[in-house]
Amino acid sequence: MKDLIIIGGGPAGLSAGIYAARAGLNTLLIEKGLPGGLAATINLIENYPGFPEGISGMELMQKMEEQAKRFGVEFANEEVISIKVTDEDKLVKTNANEYVSQAIIIATGTEHKKLGVPGEKELTGRGVSYCAVCDGPLFRDKDIVVVGCGNSGIQEGLFLLKFANSITFVEFLEYITAEKILQERIRKESRAEILLGQMVVSIDGETGVTGVTIKDRKTGESKVIKAQGVFIYVGIKPNTHWLRETVDLDPNGYIIANELLETSVPGIFVAGDARSKPLPFFQIVSAASDGAFAAFAVEKYIERRKDA
């Protein structure tokens, strides 16, 4: 029996673990991958308070993990399959074990959206990637296509320029959505070209990427960009598909919660990017804040159970 089970080891889950353990709650954090989630794949984080020179996502998440462990959070590297709620407790079933707790914080975050074009699935891991930090060094002196000109696309493209011979950015919209400071940086790079209003038709190649076929959304003209690598940053979606029968989700799959971050099921809370928000604001600092508050709400929930 645990006081609290946290599902997800990104900034929201790790922050929740730190606060819960410091409050004396017997806490288990379950993460199917490496702690840190998508945040750990970011090359440089410049807007997290306390790091004026910036910090890599991997380093920041490692520090959070070490801090959580120091306060006594127990970690399990397993994948949660289902949650069953009884009148008294919550049963969490993973691919390896079953756990019982008084409360749950869902901090499963988000994952990269896919283009869904021919060649993407077949060539993933053979030239198609969603993580510049993970795979960038494999493309030294290669020509690369980055799909998406939001913050992630431009920021990770700047990192890839350390290795690549050239980068062609392909954006579906007629404008760049990244922050102005990132736009200014990428426009100064002579080895970077930006193509706006373009739709990716296919990723080409047999055993590895040889190019990307794009189509101009205005003229309908198609052309092939020769490249040996494709990095895709076209948005995110919540990791909540397995929760549709457990808690209420909004039309986009994000978990609906009240001001106490409690879901439609008493005792199940949500924190971080998986939470439904009035504005699409997905930042490490806000996820960490959610985690801290959710842990506090859990503490009060357990106190009320004891008094009942």
Please identify which residue in the block is written with the tokens 């306390």.
Answer: 50
Topology given in CATH for the domain delimited by 120-232: FAD/NAD(P)-binding domain (3.50.50)
pLDDT tens digits for 227-278?
Answer: 999 999 999 899 999 999 999 999 999 999 999 999 999 999 999 999 999 9
Query: Distance (Å, rounded) from C-alpha 297 to C-alpha 23?
Result: 11
CB 288 within 8 A of CB 50: no
Query: Distance (Å, rounded) from C-alpha 246 to C-alpha 242?
Result: 8
pLDDT at 37 over 90: no
pLDDT at 294 over 90: yes
- What is the three-class DSSP state of 41? helix
pLDDT at 3 over 90: yes
* pTM: predicted TM-score of the whole model, two decimal places: 0.84
**Residue type for position 126:** R
pLDDT tens digits for 279-289?
Answer: 888 899 999 99
Mean pLDDT of 125-146: 93
Using CB atoms within 10 Å of the CB of residue 131, give its burial: 0 to 12 exposed, 13 to 18 middle, 19+ buried.
Answer: middle
Same fold: 2-111+236-307 with 120-232: yes
Domain spans in the chain, listed from the N-terminal domain onward: 2-111+236-307, 120-232
Helix axes 57-70, 284-307, angle to 10 degrees: 20
CB 78 within 8 A of CB 96: yes
Q: For the chain, what's the residue count?
A: 308
Helices (H), 34-150: 57-70, 120-123, 132-135
pLDDT tens digits for 152-209?
Answer: 999 999 999 999 999 999 999 999 999 999 999 999 999 999 999 999 999 999 999 9
CATH class of 2-111+236-307: alpha beta
**Residue type for position 246:** T
Residue 208 CA: distances (Å) to CA of 117, 135, 138, 202, 228: 15, 14, 13, 13, 7
